Amino acid sequence: MTHYKIIMIGCSGSGKSTLTRELTESLEIPVLHLDRVWHTTNYDDEAKKFLRQTQLDFMTNNADFIVDGNYAGSLDVRVPHANLIVWFQIPRHVCIYRVISRSVKRKLRLETRSDMAAEFKEKFDREYVDFLKFVWHFEKNSTPQIEAALEKKNADCKVVVIKNKKDKAQLLRELEVR
């Protein structure tokens, strides 16, 4: 692989940002965290256009990159630019646990998230419960969108599925990440 053009997809709490952090440190390539972009907006139609354009600009302006974040509604922007797609398929109970754990740590200010917009505030409200439902039903509701987007990938684009620590370790070995 001459250049690293990597996109990370999968459910919230699946480990996308953790692997992104490891790869970014080792490969020393630019990263775009979609949560950092999206959560600076008011989530309207203009925000969706802004998110799409930000991704396109980032990938066009960098020979190597990692784009971290699922955002299935804009996968069509990312997939054609990627030569490696890392798809996390982690059990939903693990994702729910990780989401709640990081939310509590962030709320208590025990931990910050470099992949999240600084102005984002954790709230344990109805919206949060809806988000947890989204995580719980991610596989059923989002897999068809992801599969449809992946059908449009370039022939030279590799898709790696991460289901566990062993799969992640194998990918790190393949990329010679220390």
| Residue 163 confidence (pLDDT) | 98
Q: How many domains does the chain have?
A: 1
Q: What is the mean pLDDT of residues 44-68?
A: 97
The number of angstroms, rounded, from the C-alpha of 54 to the middle of its chain's C-alpha atoms is 15
pTM above 0.85, yes or no: yes
Residues 82, 160: contact at Cβ < 8 Å?
no
Output the six-digit token pair for 1: 């692989």
pLDDT digits (tens, 9 = 90+) for 119-139: 888 788 999 999 999 999 999
- pLDDT average, residue stretch 29-39: 96
Rounded distance between C-alpha atoms, residue 136 and residue 139, angstroms: 8
Cα 10 from Cα 160, distance rounded (Å): 12
84, pLDDT greater than 60: yes
Q: How far apart are CA 83 and CA 175, in angstroms?
A: 13
Query: Which domain range does residue 165 map to?
Result: 5-174
What CATH number does residue 149 fall under? Answer: 3.40.50.300
pLDDT digits (tens, 9 = 90+) for 136-178: 999 999 999 999 999 999 999 999 999 999 999 999 999 876 5
